[in-house]
Amino acid sequence: MAKVGFIGLGIMGEPMCRNVLLKGHNVTVYNRTRAKMGPLVSTGAKPAGSVPELVQRSEIVITMVSGPEALRDVVTAKTGLLCALSPGTVHVDMSTVSPETSREIAVMVRGTGADFLEAPVLGSLQAAEEGTLTILTGGDADLSRRLEPLLLAMGSRVIHVGDTGMAAHMKLLINQMMGTLLCVFSEAALTGIEAGLSAEKILEVIGYSGVACGALKMKGADMLLERAFTPNFPLKHAFKDMRLAVETGKAMGIPSEVTAAARDMYGRAWDKGFGDRDIAAVIRALTDK
Ligand SMILES: NC(=O)c1ccc[n+]([C@@H]2O[C@H](COP(=O)([O-])OP(=O)(O)OC[C@H]3O[C@@H](n4cnc5c(N)ncnc54)[C@H](OP(=O)(O)O)[C@@H]3O)[C@@H](O)[C@H]2O)c1
């Protein structure tokens, strides 16, 4: 059993960390908002008062924070990871960040003598709770293999996709597709409803069609019927991923016009107050109903 430090106990981090704990690992936790450590501490995790304290107690440090800016903060702050990491420790970042950020963090972490593996995840809250995430790894293949037993506490499969940065590319392209799909679904479905089709009929027929898919199965009913927008994947993170996808496309010389339009739609929904609601609330960029 490993000594694991877990930083970032949000919607995803909390259940992921819980599954690591339930497998019997020796877990120390840290979260910027300290109150969120409470439930895991009650389940047997040890609280750390600071990031360096957590690092000193851990062989493997996992980060699961909102995005590139948060990860940079956690790593480079005056009391961040860099001031405590040392040879023999591994930093596994599971957040969704840009390939560029992942590579920059890898260089900084390796500069301390510690190892680094990027490991973003596919799947949302339910998969995090059930421990059935798909975990994409980028970096040293042997390190990925060595960490697989730990990663499988949180997921059903670990897929090594290439060097550092490649798992971030893979994760972003999936979210780029899902993010744009929900935008065009919003436009098409609202047009159909305005023309007189029922939301139920639209969802039923899509289910039999060539555009039926997991994303619409998960979000379609909430977008058209329930409108609860309970945050499983917060819309502000979807906006972040669309922004990163556009920047990445630009860096690769690929125009991302559709993605840029979708990014702006997430921006408008955020401006209307839906940043902390679910990604499904993107439909509210188009309508106040
Ligand atoms: N939700 C999903 O369905 C899903 C699925 C796959 C991947 N992801 C990705 O997984 C990551 C986490 O997502 P989530 O849904 O768990 O997000 P979340 O609920 O918003 O949690 C974000 C975590 O990051 C921490 N954080 C933010 N800024 C920070 C900073 N400057 N310094 C230190 N900690 C900071 C937060 O701390 P506080 O508690 O103090 O705010 C919180 O622990 C994101 O990169 C997201 O894109 C999410």
Does residue 76 line the site of ligand 1, with CB under 6 A?
no
Quote the pLDDT of residue 187: 98
Rounded to the nearest 10 degrees, what angle do helices 214-221 and 199-207 cross at? 170
pLDDT of 288 reads 85
Write down the pLDDT at residue 165. 98
Closest residue by CA, ligand 1 atom 31: 70
Residue of minimum CA distance from atom 21 in ligand 1:
10
**Contact predicate 199/224, CB 8 Å:** yes
Look at the chain and count its residues. 289
Ligand 1: distance of its center to the CA of 32 in Å? Answer: 11
Q: Are 131 and 112 spatial neighbours (Cβ–Cβ below 8 Å)?
A: no
User: What's 27-42 look like in SS3?
Assistant: EEEECCCHHHHHHHHH
Query: Which tokens hold the place of 200?
Result: 């139920």
> What's the whole-model pTM score?
0.97
CA-based R_g, the chain, Å: 20
Q: Which domains does the chain have, with CATH numbers?
A: 3-163 (3.40.50.720), 169-285 (1.10.1040.10)
Predicted local confidence at residue 282, as pLDDT: 98
Going from the Cα of 63 to the center of ligand 1, the distance in angstroms, rounded, reads 9
The pLDDT of residue 156? 98
202 CA to middle of ligand 1, Å? 33
Name which residue sits closest to atom 5 of ligand 1, judged by CA: 124
Per the annotation, the verdict on 171 as an active-site residue is yes
Question: How far, in Å, is the centroid of ligand 1 from the Cα of 8?
Answer: 6
Which residue type, as a one-letter code, is found at position 244?
Answer: L
- The one-letter code for the residue type at 221 is A
Q: Give yes or no for a contact between 7 and 77, defined as CB atoms under 8 angstroms apart.
A: no
Q: Is the distance from the beta carbon of residue 36 to the nearest atom of ligand 1 less than 6 Å?
A: yes
Rounded Cα–Cα distance for residues 187 and 169 (Å): 27
Q: What is the C-alpha to C-alpha distance for residues 269 and 286, in angstroms, rounded to an integer?
A: 8
Active-site hit among 46, 171, 219, 240: 171
pLDDT at 188: 98
Can you give the pLDDT at residue 98? 97
Residues 6 or more apart whose Cβ sits within 8 Å of residue 132: 123, 155, 156
Dihedral (CA of 249, 254, 258, 261) sign: positive
Q: One digit per residue, pLDDT tens: the chain, 289 residues? A: 999 999 999 999 999 999 999 999 999 999 999 999 999 999 999 999 999 999 999 999 999 999 999 999 999 999 999 999 999 999 999 999 999 999 999 999 999 999 999 999 999 999 999 999 999 999 999 999 999 999 999 999 999 999 999 999 999 999 999 999 999 999 999 999 999 999 999 999 999 999 999 999 999 999 999 999 999 999 999 999 999 999 999 999 999 999 999 999 999 999 999 999 999 999 999 998 7
Looking at ligand 1, which residue's alpha carbon is closest to its atom 18? Answer: 10
With the most atoms of ligand 1 within 8 angstroms of its CB, the residue from 7, 9, 12, 81 to mutate is 12
Do residues 248 and 168 touch, judged by C-beta distance below 8 A?
no
